[in-house]
Amino acid sequence: MRRTYISPEFEYKKVFGTLNMLEQSSFFGSKMLEIEDKIEIKNENIIYYQNANSEQIDLAAERSLPQVIYDTVSDKGKNHKLFLDDSQKEVDRNGNTAWVIDIEIKSILENYLFATMKKWRSFEGITNDMTYDGNVNLALSTYIEKNVINRYKFSKIELYLKPIELLTLGKLKFKNNYDVNIESSDNLFTKFQTETDSNDLDIRVKFYQSKPGGKFSFNYYYNLYFEKL
């Protein structure tokens, strides 16, 4: 019998390539997801279909199940905070009121990319048992984190403000509403400053209320823009 010189305590097994979500380049080239040059996160809903296990295997069968809807307006609403600027003196707040918005841009972009890849069925045919953690959704999130998110940079924010008189029924001083319905050129607000952290995780928007805070509250909304590096 011919000897193989392979030690019997080692055994080679084939495994799914999807167990590793990190795309690695090689001398002969490598696969990489094709992505858009620009991303505009405005007010659209992204709809996709999946089975009860979050897998995308058979579109015809999955269409008989409830569709999954990613709501950009709702997601942006959850991932920001509006508050009074603590550096402003109390006596100045009734006049030229200063505000701050902190926005978790990385979380919003990741959620948008996740829904978009689900919509275009980028992981179609991959089942839970073909992934490292046994979860297709977690594998997709890991793929985005390792390969896609770092290929974009924050470009700009569009901010919309609409002053509301406090005499209007139900309006309270320094209480403002996040409202997609005010998105129009008439309400576009440009007098603000932005600060982005070193890791592009969050942005801080600083601005002064356009009308006296002692007499007006406001409704507000924002859109985010990203560009491919």
pLDDT, one tens digit per residue, over 6-34 is 555 656 666 566 656 666 655 444 556 77
Give the 3-state secondary structure percentages of the chain, helix then strand then coil, rounded to 5: 25, 30, 45
Q: b/e for 91-129, b at 16 or more Cβ within 10 A?
A: eebeeebbbbbebbbbbbbbbbbbbbbbeeebbeebbee
β-bridge partners, 69: 47
Query: Taking a C-beta distance cutoff of 8 angstroms, is the pair 223, 157 a contact?
Result: yes
What is the structure's pLDDT at 176?
96
| Cβ atoms of 202 and 104 closer than 8 Å | yes
Give 67-117 pLDDT, tens digit per residue.
999 999 999 999 999 999 999 998 899 999 999 999 999 999 999 999 999
Give me the pLDDT at residue 44, please.
Answer: 95
pLDDT at 1 over 70: no
pTM: 0.88
Mean pLDDT of the chain: 90
Q: In the predicted model, is pLDDT for residue 172 greater than 60?
A: yes
d(CA 229, CA 220): 30
**Domain regions of the chain by residue span:** 35-228
Of 35-39, 72-76, 95-99, 157-161, the poorest mean pLDDT is in 35-39
Q: Tell me the pLDDT band of 168, cut-offs 50, 70 and 90.
A: confident
Return the half-sphere exposure (C-beta side, CA atoms, 13 A cut-off) of residue 15.
9
What's the average model confidence in pLDDT over 189-195? 97
Is 202 in a helix, a strand, or coil? Answer: coil
